[in-house]
A and B are shown apart, each in its own frame.
Chain A
Amino acid sequence: MVRILSAGDTALTVEFGETAERRLSEAVLALDARLAASRPRGVVELIPTLRSLTIHYDPCVTSAAELSCTVEPLLNGLERQPLRGRRWVIPVCYSADFAPDLKEVAERSGLSPKQVIDLHTSVDYRIYMLGFLPGYPYMGEVPQQLRLPRRQSPRTSVPAGSVAIASMMTAIYPLESPGGWHLIGRSPVRLFEAERDPAVLLAPGDRVRFAAITRAEFDELEKKSRAGSWLPTAQEVES
């Protein structure tokens, strides 16, 4: 059941459910698209997350009561709305020195490291939300065999570009930061560059497919990426 929750006097959260699952994310993104198109008075920002859409508003222009009345009729038929987005192919090097947790993930899943890589690159992921760090994409859903809870103790420093998994989600660290997910590879892509246009490469609703590359390919792309002369490719798609 959809609930409209109060998040103070500057935001409402439209909650579609309490769990992270694709069905809920699709409803969130559909409502996000509807509100972005209709731009109700006083709406400042829309934040899609795994299971809810938070609508930031200016309380000097509109009110929670008025906005709730605007939002309620938009909740009908969300599941039938096609979602537009981009499909990215992002290269990942799964070489052992970039993947300190690959062996453990393989052991705990009863797979070989090669099978882990094959599974991780076997599906299209959808970006459910960006959060935690600028440009940090929560992408789902990771194949069942690879789902593990977060690490018991987070690392104090995870290098930028690290590709990680935790439960049903996979992500790429945009910046060097602490982190508790399992590190299984590294991508030369820079997801966040404050001075670049666009500063943030991926957006909610985009799809991502990982492609395994060799260490030599990584080194070459990394060099180009640093120089600002390489970005992964994307196609507009609809689903």
Chain B
Amino acid sequence: MTSALKVVAPGLSTTVQDGGRVGWRRLGVPVSGALDRVALAAANVVAGNRADAAALECLYQGPVVEVDADSVRLALAGTGASLEVVGADGAPVQRVGALESVTLRRGARARVLVGAGGVSAYLAVEGGVRVAQVLGSRSTYTRGKFGGLNGRALAAGDALPIQSAASERGERRLPGVSFAPVPAVRVTLGPQDDHFTRDAIAALLGGTFTVTPASDRMGLRLAGPRLAHAKGFDIASDATVTGAIQVPGDGQPIVLLADGQTTGGYPKIATVISADVPALARIKPGAKLAFRAVTVAEAEAARQALERDIASWPQRLERAAADTDSERLLEVNLISGVADAES
């Protein structure tokens, strides 16, 4: 029998995402992958995986999943996110916080609660979500209808292949890691800052922008001071990067995210530094956002610091206080009746 995590309720926009599909941009295929790859890495490390393993990205409203395997170890990451482990009748049994692993047996259900302050949460499964790789990645690219589970967001009744049982490693937690939105998102100017007026650059760096509800995995659409073009808004298309701030004719910036097009015909006034791109996935529609400029060398140093931090996480894991509680939890689920009926 295939081991799976069954989707009881899909949530608002839940997709399989990993570290991304690198190497295909020259052929027009975006990188995709987790919007917040720092949170993805944290969830994976706590679950005992590689930082870039495939997990569930849950946006706005999380899914409810049911264990259809002997056992499964789960770990969640995200601002204010928590996991609610529920019995067969749907009554809350136990709340497990972010960055703390928990092992569930067959028939148990877990509801992902995206925190009130957050937009995204990442649910990692020990051993990873084992959907097939497409072009070297398990990430879902919904616009291209490939990757993840059939190239789409999860739907009720889906079954995600996983390993058959949790390992014996015990439960872990990762202290001292937070996913707060950054107060001012750091950018480097360019590549086309010379296509804008001096006032536009000043407005970008001095103004406040609001994240609009039209934002999605392709881009964060902002509303704020109009950024005026000095040489028109139509350029011969060139390549884009994740974090590029492109400005269409209406002067309202769009920050390109994981599913953003690989090329584009609007000038790009600035680029969000790669260390701050993950934080863009933590800002709610309606929330405010400001930018500040740094040099490319500072941006490179920030990225190196971030990678060193992530690389240190496996050594910083602690035994979870709930390690003993999870034994009790397993028993609760064993006697819930659901487990008996399906085992």
Contact = CB atoms under 8 A, between A and B. Distances in A.
B29 A9 contact: no
A11 interface: yes
Interface stretch (B73-81, B230-238, B318-326): B230-238
A60 B22 CA distance: 16
A136 interface: yes
A138 B147 CA distance: 25
A47 B23 CA distance: 10
Contact of A130 (B27, B144, B271, B273): B27
A131 B244 contact: no
Given A50-B236, A59-B304, A131 B146 contact: no
Interface string B139-160: 0010111110001000000000
A158 to B, nearest CB: 14
Given A9-B303, A52-B239, A59-B304, A135 B22 contact: no
A63 interface: yes
A9 B26 CA distance: 19
B28 A131 contact: yes
A204 interface: yes
Interface in A39-54: 44-52, 54
Contact of A54 (B147, B241, B297, B302): B241
B147 A131 contact: no
Q: Which of B25, B239, B263 has the most chain A CB within a 10 Å cutoff?
A: B239
B22 A194 contact: no
Contacts of A195: 134, 146
B196 to A, nearest CB: 14
Contact of A45 (B22, B141, B296): B22
Interface residues of B, number: 49
Contact of A9 (B141, B191, B239, B273): B273
B274 interface: yes
Contacts of B228: none
A217 B196 CA distance: 51
B134 A194 contact: yes
Chain A, interface size category, equals: 35 or more
Given A6-B188, A131-B261, A18 B307 contact: no
Given A59-B300, A63-B297, A134 B27 contact: yes
Contacts of A49: 237-239, 263
Nearest to B311: A60
Interface of A: 5-11, 13, 15, 18-20, 44-52, 54, 56, 59-60, 63-65, 129-136, 138, 174-175, 177, 192, 194-195, 199-200, 203-204
A60 B27 contact: no
A129 B191 contact: no
A136 B144 CA distance: 12
Contact of B274 (A10, A131, A134): A10
Contacts of A45: 22-23, 25-26
A132 B134 contact: no
B144 A133 contact: yes
Interface string B234-252: 0111110111100000000
B275 to A, nearest CB: 8
A203 B27 contact: yes
A52 to B, nearest CB: 5
Contacts of B244: 7-8
A49 B304 CA distance: 29
B303 A50 contact: no
A134 to B, nearest CB: 4
Contacts of B268: 7
B239 A13 contact: yes
B71 interface: no
Nearest to A174: B28
A53 B261 CA distance: 16
24 contacts: A6-B188, A7-B268, A7-B271, A8-B271, A8-B299, A9-B300, A11-B239, A13-B238, A13-B239, A44-B22, A47-B25, A47-B239, A47-B263, A49-B263, A51-B236, A54-B241, A130-B26, A130-B28, A132-B28, A134-B141, A135-B27, A194-B145, A199-B24, A199-B135
